[in-house]
Amino acid sequence: MRLIGLDPGLRHTGWGVIEAAGNRLSHVADGVVHSRSDRTLAERLVDLFRQLNDILADYAPAAAAVEETFVNKNPASTLKLGVARGVVLLAPAERGIPVFEYSANLIKKSIVGVGHADKQQVEMMVRRLLPGAALEAPDAADALAVAICHAHHAATERAWAAGAAR
C-alpha cells in the first residue's frame, strides 16, 4: 500500500511517500513544499494546496497521515499553523484519500521508542528504516516518520480486525 506522510507548516510542509507491504517498508520519494512569505495568507494557502495536489497526483497514495498540531506559545503562529494544517488535511480528503492523524509524541514513540525524541534521533531512525531515503530536509524526514507511524498502526489495526473476524 502506498502511503503519504505530511508534516504541516505554512512556510515549509514536509511530505514523504512510502510503500508498505506487510512488515516491509520502502522509500518512494520525499520533499518539502514551500510558500513565499511575501504573499498574503490566502495566496500562501493556495500555493500549498496546489503543490500538495501535484504531489498527490504524481504518487497516488492510498492513504495520508498527518501530524497533529501542538500548541505554540505564540497564538498567532498557532493559528497560522492551524490554517496550513487545514489545507494539508483538505488536499488528500478532497481527492477521496483517507486521512489519519497522529500526535507528535506517538510518531516519535513509534519511530524512536521515546515520545520526546529530538529531530536528529527521528531522522537517524527514518534513515535506518528506509535505507536509501534522500531526506531532502528535516521536514521531509518528519513526514516520512508520520508515514512509517501510520504503516505500523494500520498493520496492527488489520491484524486486530482479522483476529476479531475469526
pLDDT in tens, 18-33: 999 988 999 999 999 9
Cα(75)–Cα(18) distance, integer angstroms? 34
Residue type, position 160, single letter: W
Region 1-17: what's the mean pLDDT? 96
Catalytic residues: 7, 67, 139
The count of structural domains within the chain is: 1
Range of the structural domain that residue 125 is part of? 2-165
More confident residue, 22 or 50: 50
Which residue stretches of 5-137 are H helix?
41-59, 75-94, 104-111, 119-129
HSE toward the beta carbon, residue 25, CA cutoff 13 A: 28
Region 75-93: what's the mean pLDDT? 92
Cα(2)–Cα(166) distance, integer angstroms? 27
| Residue 164 predicted with pLDDT over 80 | no
CATH code for the domain in which residue 87 is found: 3.30.420.10
Rg (CA), the chain: 16
98 CB-near residues (< 8 Å, 6+ apart)? 62, 63, 64, 92
